[in-house]
Chains A and B, each alone.
Chain A
Amino acid sequence: MSVLIEAPAGASDTDSNRRRYWTSTECNPVADTAETQTYLATQQTQHQSTLMKLATIGVGNAGTKILDRMLEFEDKTNRSLCRHAMAINTARTDLAKPDFIPPERRVLIGDTHQGAKGHGVGGDVEVGADVAKTEIEEIRRAFDDVEIHDVDALLVSAGLGGGTGSGAGPVVIDELQKMYDEPVYGLGVLPGEYEGGRPALNAARSLQSFVTKVDNFVAFDNDAWRARDQTIEEGYDEMNGELATRIVTLLAAGEKDDTDVAENVMDSSDIMRTLDTGGISSIGYASSPVDAQKGLIGRFREDDEEFNADEATDATKIKGLVRRAVNSRLTIPCEVSSADRVLVVISGPPEMFARKGLESARQWLEDTADTVEVLAGDDPRENATELAAAVLLSNVTETPRVDEIQDQAVDAQNKIQELDAVREQEIEELITDDDDELDPVV
């Protein structure tokens, strides 16, 4: 497999650098990339609060479920990140699933499209893109009641293995980029190896479109989150829940009441600055339950040898938590040192915060991620039962899973082409005899 795709005209060096590994010449992106993508600098307007406010759109089945779990997590933890939540899908059955996205905010597209008819797009990324293009006015109208002056950014979540998220997702993002100056982020699920060749091909193609079109793409790798002892229901629930926890903890960081802003409190502009790199990002996360009397209970199952619950000061606890966040399962496994910028959020009861801990965690990350651009801040949550660390590794350029998906995609594409080429002939050979003695009845 060779990598020959050229960066679109006008792309800077950094752009072509991050394009290096998620493009592959043999798989084409899904939606039109001929239009030169303008990377708008984040337009920071004056906001009342430092908390980020998002308009969120789930596209396809996986995208919708993830968004629904984000809303659930917000609801449970009393956060309010997603000010607008919308689901777009081509399958009527999937639109019945969400518990938290209101019914009037679920948009069925393609019910009059010959290739969909409200029954999905058959995993066909072309049909997914075509349906969304055909119904672009409908999609635009769905954003009519989004008060854009009240949101800082837009987030599109989608699974990249199917046909709807991978095909319609980039079309929706294109439209959002045209309509709004605010950054548009992507949250995308990459199919696992066991999901097969076609999902890998869809994902490899769609990933190109997503990363080109969004201001940042947070990736989630299904393979990294496969556990042996799950039923099919638990499996997806758990993954979607984990992803929702990570993304919401990270993006919702900050303080509601800005009259008494503590020194290290995270601000939405810090988060957006970190995401401003473009490319693919990965999130690490770790948490420990908080006991009202004893403070932190050491439930550090995962090999942080330096940590000793009895002797540790608050500072070492926080540093330990951050290390664990980065060393445990990332949303997509990556070479941490390939990150461009890093953001660390410590979320929990303010009395658990330790400035020194935050600073030494930041220092450790500077070394580990090999970048000076590490922002660290607190997310005070008075009644939180956990202390959590969420780490955003922005624009990581070494993600082995992406390479694997591309290889699998090329194989799948070759096989599909081979089978296409001989299909008609093989059918004829099956039903006819060599000497043409047999004649059809009509």
Chain B
Amino acid sequence: MKFALVGVGGAGGRIVDRLHEEEAATGRSFSNGSLLAFDTDRSAFEGMDHIPLDRHILVGDTHPDIRGEGVDGDIELAVSVAREDRNELHREFDKLKLHELDAVVLVGGLAGGTGGGLGAVILESLQTLTDIPVYAIGVLPDGGEPDQHIVNAAESLQSFVRLADSVILFDNDAWHDSADTLETAYDSLNDGLAQRVSAMLGLNELADADIAENTLDSSDLIKTLDSGGISVIGQATVELEDSGFFDRIVSLFRNGDETEDDGTTTTLAMRTQDLVQEATTRNLTTPCEMSSTDRGLLLVSGPAEEISRKGFESGRYWLEQESDAAEVFAGDEPRPNGSTVTASVLLSNVTEIPRVDRLKERAVEAKQTSTSKHQPQD
């Protein structure tokens, strides 16, 4: 699928930067260079290595409370300045050339004033400007962040979910390793997210892939995400060992023998199915109750001779049973010289997410504490 990438706020910008890097690194060109990074904080652009300068858009720099230094978590300020500058924002969208693309993906940290507030206004604008689906990738704050961030996240999540055609949710906590410094944590978080988003939303855009037996097209992806709500992506990869070649020779000799009760070929089927299970159960962008899934999509990518038909079909069937989804699309992506097999799974419109429930609880508590201290202004 070809899609524009719009990063909003610090986290959003970093992820878009990383995703654009991933395009070059993996040979999946999904954005056609259709990129924009919005921020209220001038310094946020400094860390961007891959988004061209003319795509860095500073918002609200003439506003007396911002002046290019960010909104400091004030989500209402971000919303009001974004609305004042709406016409200017619209002009920037021309650079995205949306009519040439299948979708547009906005990425934002939900806890930040800019990511959550400006992000929501931009989602609103994009929905009025284009007929193509508008998706969001929303990053949840980790548990240690201050109350204001938690309230921001819970409230901007409402807006994101109502405005976007689907919100792919990414939970920092599920990925955070406390031993990491914040810097390295961000890197590994963004790597994990970039690999998942790139493989899933960038399906069919791999330059050196062969034609698939079961092609997944962008229409399948759009249909899957069409249920709205919150979606998560899982992924698991297995490195192909050198012995793979020997196994294949053995299986060639065994193929004609009908009485075989083999080790090798069953292993291939089992491995394909195991990968699907691992992707879904252990490696989701946000842990969730799988059976609350509405629609699903499975993509198995790797050398054609390493993907077993039975494993692929049973993996898909397992996913359909476990997720209790109405529909599970599945496709393969043959990479002739690939050294890995990767299963990527999209669970669309999952409605039981413990992390979201906890976020709401904490946000409600924080709000109650703050309103007992201050009288509401309006």
A and B together in one complex: yes
A interface residues with partner B (beta carbon < 8 Å): 61, 90-91, 93-94, 96-97, 114-117, 119-124, 127, 192-198, 226, 228-236, 301, 412, 415-416, 419, 423-424, 426-427, 429-433, 435, 437-442
Contact, CB under 8 Å: B158 / A117: no
Task: List residues of chain B with CB within 8 A of the CB of A235.
Answer: 213, 309-310
Contact, CB under 8 Å: B317 / A230: no
Given contacts A93-B211, A442-B79, contact A198 B251 (CB under 8 A): no
- Which of A117, A232, A426 gathers the greatest number of chain B CB atoms within 10 Å? A232
B364 interfacial contact with A, CB 8 Å:
yes
A239 nearest in chain B by CB position: B309
Residue-wise interface mask of B (349-376) relative to A, using a CB-CB cutoff of 8 A (1 in contact, 0 not) = 1011100100011011001100000000
Contact, CB under 8 Å: B326 / A94: no
Given contacts A198-B327, A236-B309, contact A442 B364 (CB under 8 A): no
Contact, CB under 8 Å: B217 / A120: yes
Task: List residues of chain A with CB within 8 A of the CB of B332.
Answer: 232
Contact, CB under 8 Å: A229 / B265: yes
Given contacts A123-B223, A232-B312, 5 further A-B contacts (CB under 8 A): A119-B218, A196-B320, A231-B309, A235-B309, A438-B364
Shortest Cβ gap from A426 to chain B (Å): 4
Q: Can you list 19 A-B pairs with a CB-CB distance of less than 8 A?
A: A93-B204, A117-B218, A119-B1, A122-B219, A122-B224, A124-B223, A194-B317, A195-B316, A196-B327, A196-B328, A230-B310, A231-B307, A233-B305, A301-B258, A423-B227, A426-B292, A430-B351, A431-B158, A435-B364
B329 nearest in chain A by CB position: A123
A110 nearest in chain B by CB position: B219
Contact, CB under 8 Å: B251 / A229: yes
- CA–CA, A218 and B162, complex, Å: 48
Q: Which of A115, A193, A197, A233 makes the CB contact (< 8 A) with B326?
A: A197
B interface residues with partner A (beta carbon < 8 Å): 1, 75-76, 79, 102, 116-117, 120-121, 124, 131, 151-152, 154-159, 161-163, 204, 211-215, 217-220, 222-224, 227-230, 251, 254-255, 258, 260, 262, 265-266, 268-269, 292, 294, 300, 304-310, 312-314, 316-317, 320, 324, 326-329, 332, 334, 349, 351-353, 356, 360-361, 363-364, 367-368
Task: List residues of chain B with CB within 8 A of the CB of A234.
Answer: 309
Contact, CB under 8 Å: A119 / B219: yes
Shortest Cβ gap from B138 to chain A (Å): 11
Contact, CB under 8 Å: A441 / B159: yes
Shortest Cβ gap from B331 to chain A (Å): 10
A437 nearest in chain B by CB position: B364
- Which of A94, A301, A440 gathers the greatest number of chain B CB atoms within 10 Å? A440
Task: List residues of chain B with CB within 8 A of the CB of A415.
Answer: 324, 326
Given contacts A195-B313, A229-B262, A419-B294, contact A117 B219 (CB under 8 A): yes
Contact, CB under 8 Å: A442 / B309: no
Contact, CB under 8 Å: A233 / B213: yes
Task: List residues of chain B with CB within 8 A of the CB of A97.
Answer: 211
B161 nearest in chain A by CB position: A431
